[in-house]
A and B are shown apart, each in its own frame.
Chain A
Amino acid sequence: MPTRVNQAGGEVARPSLKATSPRYGEKLIKAFLFLCAGLSVLVTTAIVISLLVPTVDFFSEVSLTEFLFGTEWQPGRGTQTSYGVLPIVVGTLNITVIALIVAIPVGLLSAFYLSEYANPRLRRIVKPVLEVLAGIPTVAIGLFALYFMKPFFADLLPWVDLDGLFSQGVAGVAVGVMIVPLVASVAEDAMRAVPPGLREGAFALGATKLRVTRKVVFPAAISGIVAACVLAASRAIGETMVVLIAAGASPKLVGPWEFGESVLTMTAYIGRTATGDIATGTITYKTIFAVGTLLFFMTLIMNLISIRLVRRFREVYE
């Protein structure tokens, strides 16, 4: 044992580490946390399996080719049944495209403004307001679309045929308006995370605010901005209530530019079919799950693509 001479001249023993009791509490907490993390993975897996089982059943009755490439969607009862999923996939994509055309430019430009141009006091007010807007119940947005936006667009765009009650255009714009706060908020966070030193460096070279935003902040924040857009697309694809209320229920193969057409989306189909009086085990029951599975794979593929995109364009700082 090392010794040291103290000031008085005597030797002082320096105690080494003492044995302590094993830390059971620590291990318990660790096990509990592991359980929590494991649970979320487990639940996700369970959801996928619960989707897959009836789906496999469904394909024993309807061929995969008919499902994926058929152009008539008349599932369920009656003699004229047809399970071509394309019309409702197109309906979903149309709504998503229209929503993103509204949400991405408006959301990103708001983020530019809030992050780079607005003074801090304004930002402190607007940012929480945006986040509250993101929490408006989608039912309310659906009603808003049906009773306010639809007549408004009918007046605004008299050359567009908006005679019917429902329109994919109005529903898409409503979904877009709904997700603007999401895009703005996530993109703004990404841009605020860009180190201020980069902005200073660019300003010191005589760059204008616009140039700093476009050439320095935007590229440096691109991974977060792409994430914001993907999140927006996922929200739009998965949105149910607004389209259920405002987009109608006609499975039709139309382009997204046909503003006044009514369409049926995948989510709206599931929403209107999965009511209490549906009998388990029937073909209609299984159809819901098949559509749900397809929806799951669509979002999965989109997320994988976005991860790729982010990796390619990301500018890494520090």
Chain B
Amino acid sequence: MTTNSPDAPAGGRTSVEAALKPASGAQRAARETVFELRNVSVFYGRQKAVNDVSMDIYRNTITALIGPSGCGKSTLLRSLNRMNDLIPGARVEGKVLYQGADVYSPQVNPVQVRKKIGMVFQRPNPFPKSIYDNVAFGPRTVGMKGDMDEIVERALRGAALWDDVKDRLKDNAYGMSGGQQQRLCIARAIATEPDVILMDEPCSALDPVSTGRIEDLMLQLKERFTIVVVTHNMQQAARVSDMTAFLMVQVGADEHSRWGELVEYDETNKIFTNPSDERTDNYISGRIG
């Protein structure tokens, strides 16, 4: 496990050397690193989707990945808990270290990785089962000990959903509103007490009120979990995240291949007020993307 010096958060490690200077204004206590990404590239077949990303992700923070569509932010997120394994032909190069251990080591079972690193998806995807069974699915899978009713209640309270559903736990999850379904998916993810929660555009299918609720929830959850969130909504990144990584699409010399690259990674404040890279500035201010 490595600890970064407080005044040089990750920025110096990205591959886009010219673009990055160490963020001098960062005044944070020594942070515990959860993920270390070292020269991570992701391929789908022969197509490169993400090129050479290096960054550190810190405990009990919300790290936002932003950038235009096709910049590989979801792909990068899914490489953290080996969800890309499910896609035939997907391949990761470089190192993804979770608490110092290589996530892609042949000795590591992806099932074990996903028990530690939960995920919430773009579209709410509850199982077509009761609300209770949705939350209990993970704990039963992992074989958690203890009273299942308590585990379910704790998870639902954690997702700020308990008061809405405590009287209809046996009802089908598809009877809930979209926002409730997404909070159910969050409850489902935290029920197994993971260490990290990955969120892939968790609010993109939701109305503004539900989005606000999820954002409040994220701020509560970061006390207990480390959160990495992909969002296409820059305001959302600015509102909730502590750290922000900006990725951009690079077009190859042949004009056909395109992949995502990390442009800048820094404290959210810095990214949105005083970015080091001109491209970040352009994107943030709406001139490109």
Contact = CB atoms under 8 A, between A and B. Distances in A.
A211 B83 contact: no
A175 B288 CA distance: 65
A206 B174 contact: no
A141 B276 CA distance: 75
B69 interface: no
Interface string A40-73: 0000000000000000000000000000000000
Interface string A211-227: 10001100110000000
A257 interface: no
B115 interface: yes
Contacts of A206: 111-112, 114-115, 138, 141-142, 192
Given A317-B128, A318-B174, A205 B138 contact: yes
A200 B83 contact: yes
Interface stretch (B118-126, B161-169, B222-230): B118-126
B129 A200 contact: no
Contacts of B112: 206
Interface string B176-194: 0000000001001100100
A205 B128 contact: no
B111 A316 contact: no
Given A198-B127, A200-B125, A204-B119, A316 B174 contact: yes
Nearest to A205: B138
B88 interface: yes
A204 B128 contact: no
Interface in A200-245: 200-208, 211, 215-216, 219-220
B121 A197 contact: yes
Interface in B89-116: 111-112, 114-115
Q: Looking at chain A, what size class is its interface with the partner chain?
A: 20 to 34
A107 B137 CA distance: 28
B129 A207 contact: no
Task: Name the residue among A120, A200, A216, A318 with the largest chain B CB count within 10 angstroms.
Answer: A200
Contacts of B174: 316-318
B83 A203 contact: yes
A25 B138 CA distance: 58
A198 B86 CA distance: 13
Contact of B114 (A195, A203, A215, A318): A203
B192 A198 contact: no
A205 B141 contact: yes
Contacts of B115: 205-206
B121 A200 contact: yes
A204 B80 CA distance: 11
B12 to A, nearest CB: 32
Contacts of A200: 83, 86, 119, 121, 125
21 contacts: A197-B123, A198-B128, A200-B83, A200-B125, A201-B126, A201-B188, A203-B86, A203-B114, A204-B114, A204-B121, A204-B189, A205-B115, A205-B137, A205-B189, A206-B111, A206-B141, A206-B142, A208-B111, A216-B127, A220-B128, A316-B174
Interface of A: 119-120, 195, 197-208, 211, 215-216, 219-220, 315-318
